[in-house]
Structure 1
């Protein structure tokens, strides 16, 4: 921790989250005066909300110039991100990860029936270049969002079409070309908005090509060679061979390609009525699972192939928005949507001719109805949500020599369904000019149905038909005190219903056990307590400290599990395995503190800082809880004046000792050093120069000292020194 002391000192005098999107000078402090949407699905001032919310604006995204959405979250310093491969990124909020963090894009939930509990890469299916803002709601969010929002909600908002003003027609376009050295990344992006009096269109297209990622060269003197790729498997003359890597810092087979498209069409026939069609497509090439390709067994590389097959996310939504005063609402928003998600796993052991190909296709239908009504000092938000997931799961064994195809076990029961329904009401009361009360309730029901195929895994049960329900609520109070002080408190409950992945998955784990279905699962639940104290000096200073405590019960964890006939082993794909399953266990505790500061300085300078500490423990087993990140944060100094914007930032993580790892295996201890995850910090420089009103050049140097490090629980080393150059054209 010694090397973190200077950073920690800097944070004590540094800034809070973000500047308003159209603020002309970055040295101005905006802080709690921002308008946010994610807390109650309606626009409201952040200072009125008792829950901690971080906001990443379009201007911050532009300056950070991230390669992926996962990088955008990590570079903010507010979110911890785990990676198992370069084409990955699993956000962690308050000790919760993967299917316990809800992802939402343009008001539509991305979490589906097969979101798993380990580590996810689905955040990458949203293009950072297409966004106008990101809101990170920390803590339980069950009232507005229902299941899955245990650790929080990441709400992503893509850019909107712009109607013309009195001139009758407008055109706005943003274009960029980016090259970065660490992964030899090449990115091309264009978006344009066409606006008329009643019609408007927005189109965004981004294509990215990542080569193999180069790790840092310096540091880790106590563990020389850690993270180096000394050899890899190649296919030569129809045979698998092990090849020596002549560039060991280049992480072989970590590159991939991605294409993202957003198309929106807006029709506003009259004031107070809007119709919006929203189409999104994200598609990748095969994404190699780097950590698996570097897995050794008996001193030799185990896998010849291990990749996620080409992945695709297609979303189509329609939104009707009515803004007029009536007895039932002042604002009504109806959002039906359909999503089609396809992903696969392509796995072949070294020396074997059969490649196992498991493909999952999920169709998601959803409808959200949200209404807002203002009655004097009272504001009422209420609505309903319906979702229906259908899972198609296919399994094929493909002989890479002869092309012969045979059926193999599917990962999930083919045709499984997962459906949810919920209604909610939230109330906001401005008691007086100093006190604001917020409260809300939601009732949710969930049903899961699946039938098992006895050809591959024969059990005493043939089907699952599970129902569950949950009643959740929150109550919070905000006190706006004299001299810019603000005090808030919140109690909120949340739940996550077991989905198809939890209940019905059959899958071989890397430790040699077999996960089998468990139809008896019940929802896991949390009660979250948080309090926040902040001090604001308008346009100059914001200091905010939030403490949180979460009680988790009936947590879903993997444990030894006998089959229905009492056996502790099972035969699967011709092999015998010890059986495990996802089960409900007792209680766990998560607690921590986070700080955000923002300070405007003379000479067009601003200091920003974040710091988050989390501690979690499984109280039933009396062991550390998984997914608990070490202390992490960011400190940055930003300069903006006229044509120049420049930033120097330190991003850092603390140490995670072996004794602090969860025994569940989710924290990937074998991928860490013998001492666990080591603390690290990187120095990052970014600048932007506006050549003309339309042309701009950006450049940056990330990980300036070329530090070699691996983020806690990650299976791939982070980028080494990375020089990027971007050319932008806007009009």
Structure 2
């Protein structure tokens, strides 16, 4: 690693940066105020929970395709991908439905968020973000169910009044990018119209990502892996497997995405504001790349088609903020509506029948929180209510005749709904200038109902109903022992209530494995203890270390299951082993994360991150590795910046995942890994930005300079090879 780091130093060249001031060196401080994800203002110096932030400047400078790639490039968490149009964040060994996604105060997780791998994060447009905050560790007292490993809070840009735009009535920006590794083209425009009391912000992004090229160079002494040797073409309804002229081109991995946002702000008075926030995201079909590479028993590719249909997300939020509701009390109210549509379209090689399954989810939400100053502390309290409804449909179409017929749905095809109503309270205060503490709690009630109108599998029941009382709590203690040392301790619990995906889906997880409903699942719970030690010297040096241990109770895991007295079922033309989600034993996760930042010279910042996680589960079968536990990983970077200059050279690295460390549940996707497990890898990258004309920024760089061929842990598609990119931003 040391040798690789010096290669970065040699590669660095100086280029220019635009007039937007960067935040990298300024981030060496603990007086930064964390607001939105905490629901109240709190300086980072007094936070017991670990929170890492990614600014708008950093997001723009990284110039990566999606927000999932922004998270991965931070070196502070990992991201799994089953296809190019994917990105499932992993925090402290938790992934998918065990990590909560929040956008502008509204939870994105809904009743069909699955426990395996998710691509929903990419529906948040990276170009419309003001900031991303990653909350590490249990966050249920803040946001409720699902935040076992942590939460990712997306904060979008705000509409600005005349007083906030230097009295410019119309302002905005335009951004365009091109990347060679997938011949991608993207365009973004946002326009702010400002008045004294009214403001509006309009935003649109269009992205076209072509097929992704993998690296061509062998990863150290490891064998080549994941090359695309064959693919399927269909002519006049006849499938044919053909050789790929370029085995490094991951054929049928490209897709398109369109994102829109409209915000309106009305400042009724100095203490009262009303806001409307509309967001819409949609895509073309997104090829499920890992499934397109599956091979059947006869050696041919198993699927002729396997796509996620257009992934659509609509969000409407009305927000009212009152600064002086009554004596030293602030109020925020959110009324939200979400409409989400996702679908799966697949057809086996040689078959004339195309299967289409569609899920439509609508979510109504109400959230109110209040902040009151009491003595030397802040009391935060409020309620969250969410109602989710699901409609699941399916049909089969003959690609030759166009005839359609009924097909079993992924989720029950009757009425499916969930309701969560919860209240929370927290208090943060100081014993003295050096010692502060926080106490928080949440309690509520959840109801889930699911009905099966038709019964393709002869289920022993036609309806599922669950009612659960939920609760969690947290205690934090922070001691700023000296001006240069911060000690923190945080003890927190979290919970995740089973959703429709846990309880009642019928789904072929991988070829030969069929998941069936199980109505006996209970909520899973966790308790985590964090110990943090931070050493810093004003703006020159910061060394943060966080050690954690998590106990997981009643974890929901996928395992073999007896269904109507049978262990196998005939499903879609083949015999499949029956699996179901079940509560099993106890889980144990330990790990630590270190972040070091040092201003080596004026305007030169060194930063390094290191993450290590270890997890296991103990059940009736003994002890086994826990799923979603990434191998050690991190980032080493050197950044130069001045008023108009910024350049970064960095190394991303990942350790080895041995076969013995893979979970037997199958969630780690061992079938998409090399024969000996996931090998270690590292990439070298160089990024610059140049200001050549007033208000104009030119971005350029090269990623994976050595063109290494590798695949991130549990992913089903190879990572990008050497990528040259160029972009431009114009501010008006």
2:505 matches 1:495: no
State how far apart, in whole Å, the 2-side matches of 1:574 and 1:229 are: 27
Cα 1:300–1:585 change in 2 (3 A) is same
State how far apart, in whole Å, the 2-side matches of 1:95 and 1:132 are: 27
Counterpart residue number, 2:180: 181
**Any idea what the Cα deviations from partners look like across 1:90-120, whole Å, max 9, x if unmatched?**
0000000000000000000000100000000
State how far apart, in whole Å, the 2-side matches of 1:376 and 1:709 are: 56
Counterpart residue number, 1:15: none
Cα 1:242–1:651 change in 2 (3 A) is same
- Select 2:113's aligned residue among 112, 115, 121: 115
1:446: Cα distance to partner?
1.1
1:393: Cα distance to partner?
0.3
Cα 1:27–1:46 change in 2 (3 A) is closer
Q: Is the 8 A contact 1:708 1:717 kept in 2?
A: yes
**Any idea what the Cα deviations from partners look like across 1:578-612, whole Å, max 9, x if unmatched?**
32210101101000000011111224111111111
1:222: Cα distance to partner?
4.7
Counterpart residue number, 1:155: 153
Q: Is the 8 A contact 2:224 2:709 kept in 1?
A: no
State how far apart, in whole Å, the 2-side matches of 1:90 and 1:478 are: 32
Q: Is the 8 A contact 1:169 1:197 kept in 2?
A: no
Secondary structure of the residue aligned to 1:295 is coil
Secondary structure of the residue aligned to 1:411 is coil
**Any idea what the Cα deviations from partners look like across 1:187-244, whole Å, max 9, x if unmatched?**
0011111110000111111100011000001123655441110110001233100111
1:577: Cα distance to partner?
3.5
Q: Is the 8 A contact 2:22 2:58 kept in 1?
A: no
Counterpart residue number, 1:18: none
Q: Is the 8 A contact 1:176 1:188 kept in 2?
A: yes
State how far apart, in whole Å, the 1-side matches of 2:574 and 2:649 are: 55
Q: Is the 8 A contact 1:94 1:151 kept in 2?
A: yes
**Any idea what the Cα deviations from partners look like across 1:47-83, whole Å, max 9, x if unmatched?**
1110000000011112112211111000111110010
Q: Is the 8 A contact 2:512 2:574 kept in 1?
A: no
2:730 matches 1:729: yes
2:41 matches 1:40: no
**Any idea what the Cα deviations from partners look like across 1:276-296, whole Å, max 9, x if unmatched?**
100000000000011100110
Counterpart residue number, 1:449: 449
**Any idea what the Cα deviations from partners look like across 1:530-579, whole Å, max 9, x if unmatched?**
0100012111111100000000010000112223x433344545665432
2:398 matches 1:361: no
Counterpart residue number, 1:630: 631
State how far apart, in whole Å, the 2-side matches of 1:271 and 1:119 are: 45
- Select 2:61's aligned residue among 36, 60, 63: 63
**Any idea what the Cα deviations from partners look like across 1:649-681, whole Å, max 9, x if unmatched?**
111111101111111111111111111101111
2:333 matches 1:334: yes
State how far apart, in whole Å, the 1-side matches of 2:243 and 2:531 are: 55
State how far apart, in whole Å, the 1-side matches of 2:424 and 2:126 are: 31
Using the size of structure 2 for normalisation, the TM-score is 0.95
Counterpart residue number, 2:13: none
Cα 1:215–1:6 change in 2 (3 A) is closer
For structure 2, which runs of at least 5 residues remain unmatched after alignment? 10-18
Counterpart residue number, 2:261: 262
State how far apart, in whole Å, the 2-side matches of 1:225 and 1:592 are: 31
Cα 1:324–1:263 change in 2 (3 A) is same
Counterpart residue number, 1:135: 133
State how far apart, in whole Å, the 1-side matches of 2:718 and 2:616 are: 27
Cα 1:54–1:459 change in 2 (3 A) is same
In the TM superposition, what are the counterparts of 1:230-309 in structure 2 within 5 Å? 230-298=229-297, 299-309=299-309
1:481: Cα distance to partner?
1.1
State how far apart, in whole Å, the 2-side matches of 1:102 and 1:77 are: 19
1:420: Cα distance to partner?
0.7
1:453: Cα distance to partner?
3.0
Counterpart residue number, 1:699: 700
State how far apart, in whole Å, the 2-side matches of 1:708 and 1:568 are: 39
State how far apart, in whole Å, the 1-side matches of 2:613 and 2:36 are: 23
Cα 1:7–1:101 change in 2 (3 A) is farther
CA RMSD after TM alignment: 1.9
In the TM superposition, what are the counterparts of 1:384-395 in structure 2 within 5 Å? 384-395=383-394
Secondary structure of the residue aligned to 2:163 is coil
For structure 1, which runs of at least 5 residues remain unmatched after alignment? 12-20
Paired residues, number: 718
2:444 matches 1:459: no
1:321: Cα distance to partner?
0.4
1:325: Cα distance to partner?
5.3
1:644: Cα distance to partner?
1.6
State how far apart, in whole Å, the 2-side matches of 1:221 and 1:49 are: 42
Counterpart residue number, 2:596: 597
1:30: Cα distance to partner?
3.2
Cα 1:428–1:119 change in 2 (3 A) is same
State how far apart, in whole Å, the 1-side matches of 2:207 and 2:37 are: 33
1:627: Cα distance to partner?
0.2
1:388: Cα distance to partner?
0.7
State how far apart, in whole Å, the 2-side matches of 1:411 and 1:249 are: 34
